[in-house]
Structure 1
Amino acid sequence: MLYYTLVFLFISLVSCQPTPISGPLITPLPQTYTFGSGVIRLNTGFFDIAANIESDLLNNAILRYQKLFFPFGVGYPTNNPIATLNIKVSSDSEILQLYVSENYTISVEMVGQSPQLEIIADTIFGAMRALETFSQLISYDAQSQSYSIPFVPIYIDDFPRFPWRGLQIDTGRHFIPTSFLMHIIESCAYSKLNTLHWHVSDGESFPAESKSLPNITLGAFGPLAIYTIADMEEIVAYGLSWGVRVLPEFDVPAHSFSWSTAFPGIMANCPGDSDLDGWPLSPALPEAYDLISKIYTDMSEIFIDKYFHSGGDELPYACWDNDPVIANWMTQNNFSTTQAEQYFEDQITNILDGLQKTKVIWHDPFANGCEVRKDTVLQVWDNAQMAQQVVNAGIRAIVSYDWYLDMQIPVPGHTHYEYEDTWLDFYAADPLMGVTTNTELVIGGESCMWGEQVDHRNFDVRVWPRTIAIAERLWSNENVTDTNKALTRFDPFSCHISNRGINSGPLYPDYCLLTSDFSQYSHQPRFKLTKEQIKNIYNSQK
């Protein structure tokens, strides 16, 4: 029996090794690319990046990648020719919003004895995506301590499949330091995710400082577990500097018990319900809407994206039904519980309209029978059938139901011996799987890292490398589905971002050459913004 067990283990280990593929290993896989068999050898002392426009955001990105291109230092001196990466951008606008073009092309070739390296992009954000791709074309040889670009000539024409490609994080259940949130932003940018959905508060904690309501942070875990206004502005600006939108979520009416520490009179009374996490605000109290309006107004000045997530999920109807004050209010207004929820959501819509924000909510109010305005974006956590209903109603959807990173078995019935192999389930879960009509209204998706058992101590290893699969599913062509070829690329990419301080582990037995300082950035960003840069980035979005 021992013999057969050992043979089985040996076969299992061998079988998980992917079949080698030729060509550059790029993740996410570009839409189209061609390559040859030549090599351009690089001299780090004679390598430059030049852009045709003046942009602080692009200049900062260039400075970052000049360091990231050569992670193992300058290398051994060579006589290789001067090489300049020329970046040509059509627009110098620095405004980052949903639907901004991220298209780019890359050409790498030798013309005579001279390297010709070029990026062409519609926007500076497309150029940022191209810089990340270009960084993956550069190979380092540890024995000769030299850099080169193999498989020349290389021609890449790339663009994202979906405009909304996100990672959702949760600081309501565990506080995550500001420095680590910026570290997360970097990891998103490396994978070409363009949205950090920040679930800021929940029933357990309200950690965000409010200019109008300074006492609201009494609902935080403690005085050191608070994001100041300056912290949040730095996070938003840092996201913009990497081409990552920061979308805030302040969840109402449920998941808001932490608000009651400072304002105890605004909550519904839920007799017999000991799960304070889900206790909702009362829809019957004008003070509740006034409080929400003040918080959303303050946060809209900090979170300058046009979209704002107001939650709306998991409202316990029984709580409203069993609260005598709310029940009497519903009777006086001839409201059913669904109509009471409709009234509440209408007030939130009016508040966000006044702030010129587009409302994003979880799909729950729609599923409960509430009317949802067609300019709303619904995040679907349930299943593809619900996503189909949403888009059939003419409403845009972002999907998350197959991408819950906190679940041991994210897809029912799919189990794996190795936990990391759930990436296979994530990779197989196409956003349009099960959605057959009005597919143009599915604008993307998000992986969700809920925070009940996650904070900065274990965040990276719970998210990466599995989210690489989700990032590729949202960026690359829908026909890119070969898991063997994906594995061949994903594991080197995991090593690639590990060298930048992202604690992303292996997917099969191999060796990852790491820089001597990689762990220095495992809980903090590699780069920082000055106060002046933060101010300038905010001004650039006006």
Structure 2
Amino acid sequence: MRWQTIVFGLMLQVILVFGSQYPKNLNIWPMPESVEYGNQTFYLSKDFHLTTDGSKYKDASGILKDGFARLLDVVTANNVIEYNFGKVYDSFLLQGIHVVVHSESDELQYNIDESYKLYIHPQGNPVYANIEAATVYGALHALQTFSQLCHFNLKTRKIVVNQVPWTITDRPRFSYRGLLIDTSRHYQPLQMIKKVIDSMAYAKLNVLHWHIVDRESFPLEIPSFPKLWNGAYSITERYTMAVAADIVSYAKRRGINVLAELDVPGHAKSWGVGYPALWPSKKCQEPLDVSSDFTFKLIDGVLSDFSQIFKYRFVHLGGDEVDTSCWSSTPRIQKWLEQKGLNESQAYEYFVLKAQKIAVSHGYEVINWEETFNQFGSKLDRKTIVHNWLGSGVAERVVATGLRCIVSNQDKWYLDHLDTDWSTFYMNEPLTNITNPEQQKLVLGGEVCMWGETVDGSDIEQTIWPRAAAAAERLWTRFDKLPKDPSQVASRLANFRCLLNQRGVAAAPLDGLGRAPPIEAGSCYVQ
């Protein structure tokens, strides 16, 4: 039930108590933990600027400065702003934004403190918006929230912040809030990947899971084994290591980690284009040859090169959908299996565990798709994170064994399932049937997956958005703040979708399934 306490006066303030409904006049996505606001209107000064007096963070790398510049870009890009302020506005100007960050470090890793406080109190002269954050990445989230408080006023032709005074206290519910993109099924240009990263930041997602290679293509340069990217679709549809480093750097400056995936032993036919010795035989080309020392030498080389670029604590080693029949149907591998006393299932286990040990030797903790847990979960490295995708009920079984889990169940969070609507994404709860507080902590978070069979640079954005934003609020906002009926957030999500459009993101209408076009003429806000 929605309720508001209304007090009239100059300092009118409305304190929101979130129940089963959200107030219709508060368009922030994802919803913060705590919000208080009033009824005054302030204008952004022509010289609106950033100050950091008293901050321990010195911004030597320019992350905060760049974040502020992006803030100005997105709040001014859609209109021509007129700055001829008269006396009537002088006492209602926001001169800038004052940011205090308590940590000196800008290291970006899993489980960093992303909390922040944002307040705009019309006291003092001049008046500033204020941000206080534990880390610079919490400050970036605060800037994103502030950008949603800014609006263009058509009567005054100025950027305004309504409902001042504001007091917002916020932190994410889960530390892992991911989006997978797949550059094997279709190559994604660098600029499109950067656009996806920008849009992730708008929704406060913080992990780009880069499914780089698969059976169809191997587009990434690997200096230790330079023929691997012979498996790319073409000579132009490739990523150099410099491009990979640029993606990681670009994402970091927006508070986003890049999780690299090397899916083994299945999904690897493209590897053998450059190195045919990896295939069991020319006629039977995957999974990778489990009997060959060269296979594991190559994996070691790839992960060694990865470790120079991908600094996230985790690496994804896949392990899903492994058809082992090539091993038993290839005489020399069958002979090796007999010598080792292994059947096909045991060889699959052998491969996954050996690949895990290689990754650990390079300083990584390993994420594997859930088949590895389903087949031999007790044998996995105890630091393994199990990535659920096949369906519901997996996370509760994983955490019951003491392993960690990421939720991406395909019936709810696969973006390539175009018949799954935004409300289904919104209502997918990662902690379903997990009531033990210690087990709840083992669910790192969740991830929506944009598999690439039917997306390239022409349609990836409208397939991701706004459905990914629905999951983003589920992963960011406290559970007790989330309504049980998704219709209560529909207008606010529609507003965020229109905001994405205004920022150049081709987000599809809510009124339809995945990437459906508008069905008729009408306002952005009702589609």
* Both structures adopt the same fold (TM-score exceeding 0.5): yes
1:121 deviation in Å?
0.3
* CA–CA distance in structure 2, aligned partners of residues 171 and 457 of structure 1: 14
Equivalent of 1:57 in 63, 66, 79 = 63
Amino acid across the alignment from 2:26 = P
Amino acid across the alignment from 2:40 = G
1:362 deviation in Å?
0.7
1:242–1:440: structure 2 CA closer, same or farther, 3 Å change rule? same
2:498 paired with 1:495? yes
* CA–CA distance in structure 2, aligned partners of residues 391 and 60 of structure 1: 39
1:22–1:152: structure 2 CA closer, same or farther, 3 Å change rule? farther
- The Cα offsets for residues 187-213 of structure 1, whole Å up to 9 and x where unpaired, read as 111110000000000001000011111
Amino acid across the alignment from 2:430 = P
Contact kept, 8 Å, 1:169 with 1:198, in 2: the verdict is yes
- Determine the structure 1 residue equivalent to 2:331: 324
Contact kept, 8 Å, 1:107 with 1:116, in 2: the verdict is no
* CA–CA distance in structure 2, aligned partners of residues 474 and 320 of structure 1: 41
1:42 deviation in Å?
2.6
Q: Which runs of 5+ in 2 are unaligned?
A: 1-20, 512-520
2:195 paired with 1:189? no
Contact kept, 8 Å, 1:465 with 1:505, in 2: the verdict is yes
- Determine the structure 2 residue equivalent to 1:445: 446
- Secondary structure of the residue that 1:251 maps to in structure 2? coil
Equivalent of 1:345 in 338, 352, 355 = 352
1:172–1:308: structure 2 CA closer, same or farther, 3 Å change rule? same
Contact kept, 8 Å, 1:166 with 1:445, in 2: the verdict is yes
| Superposition map of 1:86-101 within 5 A | 86-101=98-113
Contact kept, 8 Å, 2:188 with 2:456, in 1: the verdict is yes
| Superposition map of 1:412-491 within 5 A | 422-437=421-436, 438-479=439-480, 480-481=482-483, 482-491=485-494
2:203 paired with 1:155? no
Q: Which runs of 4+ in 1 moved over 4 A?
A: none
1:435 deviation in Å?
3.4
- Determine the structure 2 residue equivalent to 1:246: 258
* CA–CA distance in structure 2, aligned partners of residues 184 and 38 of structure 1: 35
Amino acid across the alignment from 2:144 = E
1:125 deviation in Å?
0.2
- Determine the structure 1 residue equivalent to 2:389: 381
Equivalent of 2:74 in 68, 71, 87 = 68
- Determine the structure 2 residue equivalent to 1:394: 402
- Determine the structure 2 residue equivalent to 1:24: 26
* CA–CA distance in structure 1, aligned partners of residues 292 and 22 of structure 2: 63
The number of equivalent residue pairs is 478
Of residues 317-326 and 128-137 in structure 1, the stretch that sits farther from structure 2 once superposed is 317-326
- Determine the structure 2 residue equivalent to 1:41: 43
* CA–CA distance in structure 1, aligned partners of residues 434 and 338 of structure 2: 39
1:269 deviation in Å?
4.4
Contact kept, 8 Å, 1:384 with 1:434, in 2: the verdict is no
Equivalent of 2:414 in 393, 404, 420 = 404
Give the TM-score normalised by structure 1.
Answer: 0.85
1:20–1:428: structure 2 CA closer, same or farther, 3 Å change rule? closer
2:136 paired with 1:110? no
Contact kept, 8 Å, 1:403 with 1:447, in 2: the verdict is yes
- Secondary structure of the residue that 2:479 maps to in structure 1? coil
Contact kept, 8 Å, 1:193 with 1:244, in 2: the verdict is yes
1:510 deviation in Å?
5.4
- Secondary structure of the residue that 1:369 maps to in structure 2? helix
1:98 deviation in Å?
0.4
2:310 paired with 1:303? yes
- The Cα offsets for residues 489-508 of structure 1, whole Å up to 9 and x where unpaired, read as 11111121222211113325
| Superposition map of 1:251-270 within 5 A | 251-269=263-281
| Superposition map of 1:132-151 within 5 A | 132-151=144-163
Contact kept, 8 Å, 1:161 with 1:477, in 2: the verdict is yes
Contact kept, 8 Å, 2:24 with 2:492, in 1: the verdict is no
- Determine the structure 2 residue equivalent to 1:533: none
1:20 deviation in Å?
9.4
* CA–CA distance in structure 2, aligned partners of residues 332 and 285 of structure 1: 14
Contact kept, 8 Å, 1:445 with 1:474, in 2: the verdict is yes
1:42–1:62: structure 2 CA closer, same or farther, 3 Å change rule? closer
Instruction: Indicate the RMSD between aligned Cα atoms, in angstroms.
Output: 1.9
- The Cα offsets for residues 240-295 of structure 1, whole Å up to 9 and x where unpaired, read as 11111011111110000000001112123497x7xx7xx21011111100111111
Give the TM-score normalised by structure 2.
Answer: 0.87
- Secondary structure of the residue that 1:368 maps to in structure 2? helix
* CA–CA distance in structure 1, aligned partners of residues 271 and 257 of structure 2: 26
